[in-house]
Structure 1
């Protein structure tokens, strides 16, 4: 059985909205058409995808599974279309994604010198999408901060840099020459613990303080400055976003943050190999005062 990608897109819209009317508006189609397409998909898959009542639309277990599988499939299909279209036109652009604190200027200039006919674009990413931009075709390469999901990727290590605790300027530990992660056990971490795996090992009382949805370093630092918690960042990020109402204190017992160049393992572009060679000279930004 072949799965119709159009029906999958319709399904994802309904699954995300949990409302057929809103999903139809989002897709710019009539609601009866959308309902027929969802019924046809359920018939093809032999499974009910939604529980519908007068008050609510909910995903069934089969629907939840399909949603998990459909999103990466649609992303891959969109990336395929982008890459085929680019191949048909010829390689006119090369997009480099990068995480905050990473400086690309020297590598970009060297690349442009070697390939003057290629337009080089840069794309700033976050922890949430530094890998996704490769899978969905928005970037040819991505300079990432580990840990990441490395499936289907090729990685080339670049460098390592220390991690620092970012605290409010008036914090009790401000001004210390260095601290250990255990000194922060009573603090509220303003990032997902997956970004700081050592945080999970700290002995402390269970807490249920929510982690705010912070989409950028700037937002994170605003919360730190306001005394709402602390963050742990690589030294180059702390250097780049230096400000007077926060302070950065070295952490002596954390392994360094690892920076790597990543690209899809299936890509064989000579432009990628050129950029791999050029990034061997990348180094972290020096912290303030060095």
Structure 2
């Protein structure tokens, strides 16, 4: 977006939009925990957001929406394991090195035999938005924006 090589972008989490760009909030998506199939969380049916700090947290530093910044400084997970992309985070979790916090859509899209998803309670939702430049209001972009607003969950 900053180099203007994209017409529109779907962004999860807080948006640091380029100057002159507009942000269109579509919906808020709840996060879900992902853990190894061998993790002790297997016996629990859910995990409370406040209890995430008791587990090593695997974060995607490039495009993840959850990280140490997601908690007040005195409530952050003590151990953070950094990865550079979604696949690396997933493999790190599958290896049992920690848990991850991912958008709920990941549960529907991820097929990995060694990971399981567990609902989070009391977790803040992550905004999903579209970012575009208003001067690029070509017909196709306008149609895309209209369709996105009409189909966004409420």
TM tier, shorter chain? 0.7 to 0.9
What is the CA distance between 1:281 and its match in structure 2?
3.6
SS at 1:279 equivalent: helix
Mapped partners of 2:105, 2:73: distance in 1: 25
SS at 2:54 equivalent: coil
Mapped partners of 1:182, 1:202: distance in 2: 11
Please report the TM-score for the alignment, with normalisation by the length of structure 2. Answer: 0.80
Mapped partners of 2:28, 2:77: distance in 1: 32
Instruction: Pick closer, same or farther for the CA change 1:283–1:232 going to 2, 3 Å.
Output: same
In the TM superposition, what whole-angstrom CA distance separates every residue of 1:150-175 from its partner, at most 9, and x where no partner exists?
A: 34221112222221011111111124
Computing the radius of gyration from Cα coordinates, the structure with the larger value is 1
Unaligned residue ranges in structure 1 (runs of 5+): 1-133, 285-290
Could you tell me whether the CA contact under 8 Å between 1:158 and 1:282 is conserved in 2? no
SS at 1:280 equivalent: helix
**Is it true that 1:218 corresponds to 2:87 in the alignment?**
yes
Structure of higher RCO (CA pairs closer than 8 Å, 6+ residues apart): 2
In the TM superposition, what whole-angstrom CA distance separates every residue of 1:181-212 from its partner, at most 9, and x where no partner exists?
A: 222213222214x83233344536865x6523
Map of 1:246 onto structure 2: 115
Kindly tell me the number of residue pairs found equivalent between the two proteins. 147
Larger strand proportion of the pair:
2
Could you tell me whether the CA contact under 8 Å between 1:186 and 1:204 is conserved in 2? no
Map of 1:237 onto structure 2: 106
Q: For the aligned residues, what is the CA RMSD?
A: 2.5
Unaligned residue ranges in structure 2 (runs of 5+): none
Map of 2:136 onto structure 1: 267
Mapped partners of 1:218, 1:162: distance in 2: 20
Larger helix proportion of the pair:
1
Could you tell me whether the CA contact under 8 Å between 2:36 and 2:96 is conserved in 1? yes
Task: State which of 10, 20, 24 in structure 2 corresponds to 1:143.
Answer: 10
